[in-house]
Amino acid sequence: MPAHLSRFILFALPILLPAAVHAAPVRLTVPPDLSAPRPAPIRVTGLPPSATVTLTTVQQRDRDGRFEAAVTFRATKAGTVDTARQAPITGSYSGVEPLGAFWSAMEVKNPSGAVQDIAIGYARVTVRVNGREIATGTVRIRPDTAGIRLSTATPFPGAVWAVPTDHRRHPVVIVLGGSEGGSSTARAMAPLFAARGYAALGLPYYDPGYDPSDRMEGLPHSFTAIPVDRLSAVREWLKARPDADASRIGLWGASKGAEFALIAASRYSWIKAVVAVVPSDLVWEGWGGSGPATASFAFDGRPLAFEPYAGMDAELAKAARGEPMDLRRVHVEGRAAHPDRVDAARIQIERFHGKLLLIAGGRDQVWPSAEMATNIVAVRKRAREKTRIVAASFANHFLGGPGTTPVAPLATPGSDAVAIAHARADGWAATFDTFGAAL
């Protein structure tokens, strides 16, 4: 193991350091992995009673910059600080927020573009009393991949296969990203599920052509008539793998990937669980094709009945000019203008008898995910099917993934950073509850 990494792994454990300003040893406990479903809070003991204590976090997520936060607490009379029980005096967040020192961090660009004193993929927590550093600890941002095998050698263009290396059969999570086509989501999310004991297939299904160096031949280049039934081929491939249990398959989909996942669940009884992040209750019109308007998704070679947009071409033209799009309006007004199309376009998710989790935001700026999630819950309730929902009135569209992710880059007008962070944290924990119960 390289020496520069061994010291980071060492500090991920509880730390005992002598405090220069206090006789008792200071003990700093930090969560070992910020991508866990329920990371532990930051705890410090052995502090001077009632001392003013500043916690700083620095997260090195890539080579271009880092995220930093600072919060100041008053230690208890017993000399402790516990972020799960105490609100800071001042800092980057207010109120009792166990993980606030991570999600409230703000981006700071590295002027040189070089990694400085902390490795990419790690966060450092530092404790100071009266400005003097007395303890420090290091946290993984992403899970340790030492026990995970990652491969792109699959029959599916751009796919990422991530599986624990313990020579067992594992329940499967198929990851379906959004309108970016799923490639970036596949790379980011598949290892997170593999680290929790699942065999994960990050499955791109569309190549928008944004990056010529990352083209995925064999995938559609317009978001029209995407074949949902390609999952049948995925299942057959999984059946032949000694490290996958094809009798236990769940789907995780975000945005258009949630639409994909819900369509599949309404048609395949072998799907045991679905987590739909910012979901749709309808099949929507596609875009980017040269012919007549058609559906985003198809099944058995035929485009599905769909709900038309209202003004999508005008919004795409805005994007081409560098102007902000109003995609929520496209969906809301499209639905209002074509009420006669709703019944045919509705995803018949009441046919799905497995575990279903919906995660939605009331200030979703892309489409009305909270309203559509409510529609899904209602129709399944009438069919006596249970649905779990995590919804936050002031959260937006960016709710897929761990609740420790800095939310400042994810905030949009009208949304609230605390609501986004809580929805992500609650949804991420509920995701593993759902898959754990079903798979």
Of the candidate CATH numbers 2.50.20.10, 1.20.200.10, 3.40.50.300, 2.60.40.2240, the domain formed by 3-140 belongs to: 2.60.40.2240
CB 291 within 8 A of CB 384: no
d(CA 132, CA 20): 8
CA 303 → CA 262, 299, 324, 376, distances in Å?
16, 6, 30, 22
d(CA 308, CA 370): 20
Render each residue's pLDDT in the chain as its tens digit; 439 residues.
333 333 333 333 344 444 444 456 899 999 999 999 999 999 999 999 999 999 999 998 777 778 999 999 999 999 999 999 999 999 999 999 999 999 999 998 765 544 457 888 899 999 999 889 999 999 999 988 889 999 999 999 999 999 999 989 999 999 999 988 768 899 899 999 999 999 999 999 998 877 666 667 789 889 999 999 999 999 999 999 999 999 999 999 999 999 999 999 999 999 999 999 999 999 999 998 888 999 999 999 999 999 999 988 888 888 888 888 899 999 999 999 999 999 999 999 999 999 999 999 999 999 999 999 999 999 999 999 999 999 999 999 999 999 999 999 999 999 999 999 999 999 999 999 999 999 9
Specify the pTM: 0.91
CB 279 within 8 A of CB 357: no
CATH code: domain 145-438 is 3.40.50.1820
Question: What would the two tokens of residue 49 be?
Answer: 């009673």
Domain boundaries defined on the chain: 3-140, 145-438
Helices (H), 240-355: 256-265, 312-320, 327-337, 342-345
Strands 65-74 and 52-60: antiparallel
